[in-house]
Structure formats: structure tokens, C-alpha cells
Amino acid sequence: MKKIMMISSVVLLAVGCSNAENEQGSNEATEVNQNNTTSNNTNVNEPQNEEEGVHNEQNDVDEVDNDTAASETNVENEGNEVEMEDQVEEEAETRYSLQTDHTVAPIDDAPAEVVLLTIDDAPDNYGVEMAEVLSELEVPAIFFVNGHFIQSDEGKQELQAIYDLGFEIGNHTMSHPNLRDISDEQVEEEIVQLNNEIEDIIGERPRFFRAPFGANSDKSEEVVEAEGMQSMNWTYGYDFTPEYMETEALGEIMVETELLRNGANLLMHDREFTLEALPAIAEGLREKGYEFVDPKELE
């Protein structure tokens, strides 16, 4: 009986050990499978996450591109608005007409007590400074340009500076000859070549022409008409006569002369004493009740 019980215990113990080994093996297998599953899942998901990351980065780039395009559109729209404003400013109302005696006359109800300021022989030495002073005084003017002053880079820059300050640019020939003393071919070259050079610098051709010494010719009038310009001489000017080549004397005569009248066309030159006299001239004319015609208002 005791032998039978001992044999049974041994059998049961062997069976228990076998089951334990099987369970441990099963657990290990399950653990390996779980590890493999985790490893497989990781390997599968990694490239998927990279693709999603690239896709998200592309979306971010697309959004940036869209924002950039929107910004560029806004800038373009703002540029168009500025351009439209500039066009409106350029299309100033026509209020005065140039007369055959070179004065200006009001159109409809425009004020009659006005004068037109013109500066010849620019830009020589003081043209830009004169433009700056006139701009500060809020006095418009026409700067009549000679071609020999704009052959250098400095001369071109000075012309551009005068134009950028808002002043009208006129044609005063390439080399300031007496047009009655040269051939028709030379007259045409003196006028047309300067128009071309001015346009190359400021982007537009002059509207007004002034012959050196006021000496127009049949040929110059023909060329001026063909170029779509108007000729103008002047009513009075004094800074080329010796007794008025001084600041105080010039400032006084330009205001007190008996030649001053409504619509007068005032001639001055690119000179140091003329530059210095500009404030007194502008103030004196205003005290007499005159204002200044903007050349953009001339038909």
C-alpha cells in the first residue's frame, strides 16, 4: 500500500513539472509573439508616420505659399492704388491757357491774379537747390533744360531730382544756340534730341519749348508743333542784366516792376543770386495778391 502511494506521488510530481514546463514555454512563446507583433507594428507605422510628416510639412509649405501669394496680391493692389492716385494727380484740371503774348489767361472762373514762374539754363549749378526752395515755398515752376547740362551722370541725377520734386521740365535746346543762325537740320536736332534725352531720364517728353534768347524761327515752330509742344517766351526777367545780378536788387525788381500784371510769365535763370532771391520774390508777389500757376493746369 505504501509503495502504491509513493508511486502515485512520483507520477503526480512528474505530471506537475511537465505542465509547468509547458506553461512556461507557452508564456515565452506568447511573449515572443507579442514582441514580434510590437516590432512588426513599429516597423509598419514608422514609414507611415514619416509620410504623414512629409504630408503635413507640404501642407505647411502650401499655406506659406498661399500667405505669400496673398501678401503679393495685397502689395500689387496697393501699388495699383498708388498708381491710380498718381494718375489722378497727373490729370490736373485745366484752368489756364497760354496766350500768344506768352502770358497765361484763366479759363472760366479760375483766379486771374496769377503769374507763371520759369527757370532757364537748368540744371547748371543751382537748379536742384532752386527746386527745393520753391518746393518749400509751395511755388510751382517750369525748369527749361539745356542738353549740355545732362550729359554727365550727375546732370542726369539732378534733372531727375528736379522732376521728382514735382516740377515741369521744358526744352531749352541741346546747346543753347540762336536758332536763327543755324540750319533747319540743326534746329530739328537741337529740339528733338533733347526731347529724347529728357524722356530717357524722366520717362516723359517736355510739353513746353523756349528758344534761347527768345529767338524762334519758322523751322523751330514747325518742329515744336510736330513734337506736340507749345512755345513760350516771357513777360519780363532781370537776372541777366548786370545791375540786377545781385540778390536784393533782383528780389525787389521782380516784384516792383511795372511789367507785373495778371498772367505774367516771369523769367529767371539757374544762378546763385537768383536762388537767394527766390523767397523774397515769392513773398513779395503774394503780398501783392498774386498766386502761382501750376504748369500742369495749362491746357
pLDDT digits over 225-269, tens only? 999 999 999 999 999 999 999 999 999 999 999 999 999 999 999
Q: Compute CA distances 55 → 46, 51, 153, whole Å.
A: 14, 6, 54
Go through 89-128 and write b for each residue having 16 or more CB atoms within 10 A of its CB, e for each that does not: eeeeeebbbbeeebbbebeeebeeebbbbbbbbbbbebbb
Choice between 160 and 2, residue whose per-residue pLDDT is larger: 160
Q: For position 91, what pLDDT does the model report?
A: 61
Backbone angles phi, psi at 238, to 5 degrees: -135, -10
287 pLDDT exceeds 50? Answer: yes
Choice between 34 and 67, residue whose per-residue pLDDT is larger: 67
Q: pTM for this structure?
A: 0.71
Q: Compute CA distances 234 → 101, 213, 265, whole Å.
A: 8, 10, 5
Angle, CA of 289, 292 and 295, to the nearest 5°: 160
Q: Is 236 helix (H, G, I), strand (E, B) or coil?
A: strand
Q: Compute CA distances 281 → 97, 219, 240, whole Å.
A: 24, 36, 16
Q: Angle at which helices 272-287 and 127-137 pack, to 10 degrees?
A: 20
Choice between 134 and 29, residue whose per-residue pLDDT is larger: 134
Amino acid sitting at position 16: G
Q: For position 33, what pLDDT does the model report?
A: 38
176-203 pLDDT per residue, tens: 999 999 999 999 999 999 999 999 999 9
53 pLDDT exceeds 60? Answer: no
Calculate the average pLDDT of the chain.
Answer: 81
Q: What is the mean pLDDT of residues 209-214?
A: 98
Sign of the alpha-carbon dihedral angle for 196, 197, 198, 201? positive
Q: Is 123:153 a contact under the CB 8 Å cutoff?
A: no
Name the pairing type of β-strands 236-237 and 264-269: parallel
Choice between 288 and 61, residue whose per-residue pLDDT is larger: 288
Choice between 65 and 281, residue whose per-residue pLDDT is larger: 281
